[in-house]
Amino acid sequence: MARICVFCGSRSGNLPEFADAAELLGTCLAESGHTLVYGGGSTGIMGIIANAVLRHGGNVIGVIPKHLARPELMHDGVADMRITLDMHERKALMHSLADAYIALPGGYGTLEELFEAVTWAQLEIHQCQVAVLNICGLYNGLVTMLDQMTEHGFLSQDCRRHLEIFSNTADMLQWTAALGPTQN
């Protein structure tokens, strides 16, 4: 089974659909035997997906930099919590663990991590698939921007295809079900 690195918000957003999607994805990851690799937080969409995986008996690896490893931020129910020196070491460790990447709803942190993963796919640093779950159109503006970059020649059609965009959780679950076993 695969280790799936999920980037997502430290906040929950203001629509119940965001939390519902994280809950459903976490449940399905646990039921299909995949391991969740995530940022180690207890808040927002991060906390929701980690709790869903744990509640359904799944495996979770948290990777958190020491400056965020505070009781009010770090999930205290994740047994396999890796504490790193800084954000760079955190992302390097997440990348070394991941077989595939998913971005759920989130903010700056989520986008930054997503675009590093997809840039590294473009540069063939890894062969992992990268997908975004576009719940309630949160990422519509981003999709439009990527289409414009493709239209104006900054992204090749091939590079554009490195980022899969799903607008419903059921389609993403079909994609996760097809992911291969751990490569690392």
Cα 87 from Cα 104, distance rounded (Å) = 19
Which CA distances in Å does 15 have to 5, 21, 133, 138? Answer: 23, 11, 15, 10
In the complex with ligand AMP, the residue whose CB is nearer, 110 or 134, is: 110
Q: Which of 73, 81, 142, 159 binds ligand AMP (CB under 6 A)?
A: 73
Cα 167 to Cα 165: distance, rounded to the nearest angstrom: 7
* CB closer to ligand AMP, 108 vs 137: 108
Q: Which residues pair with 129 in a beta bridge?
A: 100
47 is a site residue for ligand AMP (CB under 6 A):
no
Cross-strand pairs, 42: none
Smallest distance from ligand AMP to CB 108, Å: 4
* Smallest distance, ligand AMP to C-beta of residue 156, A: 28
| By CB under 6 A, residue 39 contacts ligand AMP | yes
Q: Please state whether beta strands 80-84 and 59-65 pair in parallel, antiparallel, or not at all (unpaired).
A: parallel
Shortest Å distance, C-beta 173 to ligand AMP: 21
Q: Which residues are near ligand AMP by CB under 6 A?
A: 7, 9-11, 39-41, 43, 64, 68, 73, 106-110, 113
